[in-house]
Amino acid sequence: MKELYEIGIVFRGFILVHYEFKKLEKEDNPSKANKDLRGSFISAINTFAKNAFNNLSLEYLESSNILFVFKAIEIQTTDFEEKEPIILYSLIDKTKKDTDKYVKKFLQKIEPILTLFISRYTDTDFSEVNQFEPFQNEIKGFIFA
């Protein structure tokens, strides 16, 4: 498997929970990455793809050395009448050339994480983000199982 840096879940522009497998550091800027910006970016790019391209779901973005993988579905919360998008994301070292094939396999492997999260937290009040911290162990356990 490629080098896995991080898996997390984003809702309303905030990272609810994430597990960092390996630090993602940039040599010329060792300062810590802003997690709030990351969550906002993931939500914004998903909303853009959905609205600009008639409900298109974005699966991944590539940079020169990082692959950003996304899986978006909807969840019902207690504080809003309609279902809202929730996004599972992964940051992976991009080393293989057949990215499409790898992303499809990877999404199949990690999709149960999002399914478990939704089954556990549907019809929950999402205003208290700390309630999702224990789910880090689920992410870690799933990947290392």
Q: What is the pLDDT of residues 48-85, one digit of tens each?
A: 888 888 767 788 988 888 899 999 999 999 989 999 99
| Band (27; pLDDT cuts 50, 70, 90) | low
Task: Look at residue 145 and tell me whether its pLDDT is greater than 60.
Answer: no
Q: Which CATH class is domain 4-144?
A: alpha beta
Query: What is the share, in percent, of the chain residues with pLDDT greater than 70?
Result: 90
The angle at the Cα of 38, spanning 35 to 41, to the nearest 5 degrees, equals 150
Residue tagged 């911290």 (tokens): 133
Q: What per-residue confidence (pLDDT) applies to 135?
A: 96
Q: What is the pLDDT at residue 53? A: 83
Residue ranges covered by each domain of the chain: 4-144
Confidence of residue 26 (pLDDT cuts 50, 70, 90): low
In the chain, % of residues over pLDDT 90: 46
In a 10 Å sphere around its CB, with 0-12 CB exposed, 13-18 middle and 19+ buried, how is residue 3 labelled?
middle
- For residue 62, what are the contacts with CB-CB under 8 A and spacing of at least 6? 68, 94, 99
29 in the Ramachandran plot: left (φ > 0), alpha (ψ -120 to 50) or beta?
Answer: beta
Mean pLDDT of 26-37: 60
Residue 129, token pair as written in the block: 């983000």
